[in-house]
Amino acid sequence: MPAQDIIQKWTGELQLGSGWAHYRGLAGDTSPHSHYPLQALFCENCAADINIDGLEVHVRGSAVVPSNTPHQLKPTVGNVDILYVEPTLMSPDLFVLKKVGEWRDNLCCAVRQVSDNKIAEALAIIDSRLDSKIPLAALAKEVGMSKSSFTEKFKRATGLPLRRFVLWRRLYLAVRSVSEGISLTEAAHQAGFSDSAHFSRTMRETFGVSPSQGMLNIKMSVLPDGQCLRS
């Protein structure tokens, strides 16, 4: 097989927190993609190359890919640490930290930064109903807002329109279920995807890999809320 056709697999460990995740290991092949959580890359004992919105970046130390920014991390020779963090969990203090352990310590205690109580209520409702349809008009009415006001304030608070935010939370829930030993098909249905193909397509569009490519060689676990099991 020609060298350019060899696919490097993702091989390492993924720990899922509440609204964030930490991967440590070899970064494998991906296609260009973008995702809702921002991506913090740490190369404390190695180097990595990443294309961020068309700009080639050689990373020694750390780098951050903003939310919804097109990028492609090239396969790595050594282990890297990657944190995926929902923007509503971010505080300005995190950006001055340079060590992955410091980020994790902060994220383990982080809560969503949503000042509007009605939007915060809507976010809780969404997470409780991911296995069913979540119509925008009905959700806005349930939290006592007009459709137009809800649409504007929801996107301002989360950075995404409702439909895309719901899709992201479904993907997160499906990955979490797989980490707990549930099959891809069952995890897809529990998270509200129409089938495993829909789950697979969404993950490829979001992270540049299919569930089998991205999770087959990865040890996955779920972090108890408020606890950090590794530094």
For position 228, what pLDDT does the model report? 67
The mean per-residue pLDDT over the stretch 117-126 comes to 96
Model pTM greater than 0.85? Answer: yes
CA distance linking residue 108 with residue 18, whole number of Å: 8
For position 231, what pLDDT does the model report? 55
- Mean per-residue pLDDT of the chain: 91
Same fold for the domain at 7-111 and the one at 117-201?
Answer: no
As to burial, measured by CB atoms within 10 angstroms (0-12 exposed, 13-18 middle, 19+ buried), residue 158 is buried
Tokens of 141: 């009415």
- Confidence band for 93, pLDDT divided at 50, 70 and 90: confident
pLDDT at 65 over 80: yes
pLDDT at 5 over 60: no
pLDDT at 50 over 50: yes
Please state the domain extents for the chain. Answer: 7-111, 117-201
Q: Which CATH superfamily is domain 7-111 in?
A: Jelly Rolls (2.60.120.10)
pLDDT at 36 over 80: yes
**Which fold, 117-201?**
Arc Repressor Mutant, subunit A (1.10.10)
For position 217, what pLDDT does the model report? 84
Give which of 85, 21, 86, 18 is closest to 224, Cα–Cα: 18
